[in-house]
Amino acid sequence: MKLLAKTNRYYLLLTTVLFALASVVLYYGLFRALTQEVDEQLSNRRLYLENRIRRKQTLPISPFEYQMDVSDRHQRPGYGDTLLLDPQEQEMVPHRQLTFPLRVAGQRRWVTLRKSLVETEDVLAVVLGVMVSVLGLLLLGVILINRWLADWLWGPFRATLHALRGYKLHQHEVLQLAPTDIDEFAELNQALTQMSQRLVADYEALREFTENAAHETQTPLAIMQAQLEQLLQLPALEDPQVAGLVTGLYGATLRLSRLHQALTLLSKIENRQFIDVQALRLDQVLEEKVRQLESLTETRQLALSTHVTGVPALRMHPGLADSLVHNLLQNAVKHNHRGGSIEVRLSAQALEISNTGPALTGDPARFFERFRKQQPTSDSPGLGLSIVQQICRYYGFTVTYAFAAVGARHTLRVAF
């Protein structure tokens, strides 16, 4: 539920309760006031009759017999309410009456004066109708003005929310928010602008550090690798023990270089530094990577088959598309056995790579973790599937793993 709707609900509830209480109080207040007015009129008529009797005059004859009644029988004195039949309307009409004793011609009589309360009920009905109408208009007005306020007062907030949803940190721009004359929203915009400035500064610092670290570490590694290659080619390197040490050092340098490249790629993906995208044909990328791996598959006697039933319409960075396909195929080759098979299926919806291989132990959900190796002695840094997962997250793809015991086949599927 929206904030304004939630607050308006309480305001409307409070307004309705207060207005209902006020209507009840007003109703009974008016009823009491009108009743007191009728009692005062009856009391004045009583005084009038008493004055006539003191002046030795007879009781007047009322044109309406129900307005005054004289009886010899004892009656309870005081004010009261009663219902009398209206001969014209043929319906019971409420009356207010005053009964009191009076001596007429030396005899004690009981006089009852009455006054109709129909006018009082009409006044109360009008007042109640007016109150209900006003309540309805008030509630309708509150709803309409709240809608107007929601569009007007909350407009800057919606503009800020729209700007936040469209904000992209990798564009290296500070968040631009429209000015507003509402203090709370102005403070919010100022805080968000300052936060975006810090984010841009931190992002730039991290990007520069990543680029500098990649460059500064890759250069010494390349120099070490080149010098070790030259050292291995020297004819003076005849001692088998020394040659073994140099060969091991060269292999460690290669692994360190691959690890450095993989970590640098992961860092760039997480920092969303691959901004440039273009439409590409994944079938062509797949064909190229399969051709590059032909010598490796032939060496390991692997049967690799490709089935293309459709080409997905993708917009990706060419380097990430190449890395995605390369790591999937490399994983299928690396975790296969000699004489095994690899099946690659590409459709408009997914890329699926299936390979034979020994059953894996452990939780399949952890296969995408960094430095996760099935064989601890492997030369691989254990980052291939992590790179695949990060690329899929970057573009909103879904990567899943499945193992079929029949045929011992491992399947990685990337759904676009």
**pLDDT given for residue 366 in this prediction:** 65
Q: Give the number of other CB atoms < 10 A from CB of residue 286.
A: 21
Is the sign of the CA dihedral 65, 69, 73, 75 positive or negative? positive
Q: Give the number of other CB atoms < 10 A from CB of residue 221.
A: 17
pLDDT, averaged across the chain = 77
What CATH number matches the domain at 278-415, 3.30.565.10, 3.40.50.300, 3.30.9.10, 3.90.1170.50?
Answer: 3.30.565.10
**pLDDT given for residue 185 in this prediction:** 83
Burial tier of 184 (Cβ tally within 10 Å: 0-12, 13-18, 19+): exposed
Q: Which helix (H) or strand (E) holds 316?
A: strand 314-316
Residue with tokens 């299936």: 354
User: Of 121-135, 234-248, 337-351, 367-381, which gets the smallest average pLDDT?
Assistant: 367-381
Contact yes or no for 92/84 (Cβ under 8 A)? yes
**pLDDT given for residue 57 in this prediction:** 67
With cut-offs at 50, 70 and 90, classify the pLDDT of residue 168: confident
Is residue 90 predicted with pLDDT exceeding 60?
A: yes
Contact yes or no for 327/384 (Cβ under 8 A)? yes
- What is the maximum alpha-carbon separation in the chain? 161
**pLDDT given for residue 4 in this prediction:** 66
Three-state DSSP at 72 gives coil
Is residue 295 predicted with pLDDT exceeding 80?
A: yes
Most confidently predicted of 19-28, 130-139, 405-414: 405-414
Is residue 7 predicted with pLDDT exceeding 60?
A: yes
pLDDT in tens, 211-269: 676 666 767 777 777 777 777 677 666 667 666 776 777 667 766 766 666 667 777 77
Question: Cα(385)–Cα(414) distance, rounded to whole angstroms?
Answer: 12
DSSP E strand stretches across 36-154: 68-71, 78-86, 91-104, 107-116
Residue with tokens 């009692």: 39
Most confidently predicted of 42-51, 246-255, 279-288: 279-288
Percent of the chain with pLDDT over 70: 76
Is residue 88 predicted with pLDDT exceeding 70?
A: no
With cut-offs at 50, 70 and 90, classify the pLDDT of residue 405: confident
Q: What's the average model confidence in pLDDT over 271-291?
A: 82
Query: What is the value of pTM for the model shown?
Result: 0.49
Three-state DSSP at 235 gives coil
In the chain, where the domains are located: 3-152, 185-270, 278-415
**pLDDT given for residue 154 in this prediction:** 79
Question: Cα(213)–Cα(227) distance, rounded to whole angstroms?
Answer: 22
Question: Cα(248)–Cα(289) distance, rounded to whole angstroms?
Answer: 29
Contact yes or no for 112/75 (Cβ under 8 A)? yes
Q: What does the radius of gyration of the chain's CA atoms come to, in whole angstroms?
A: 48
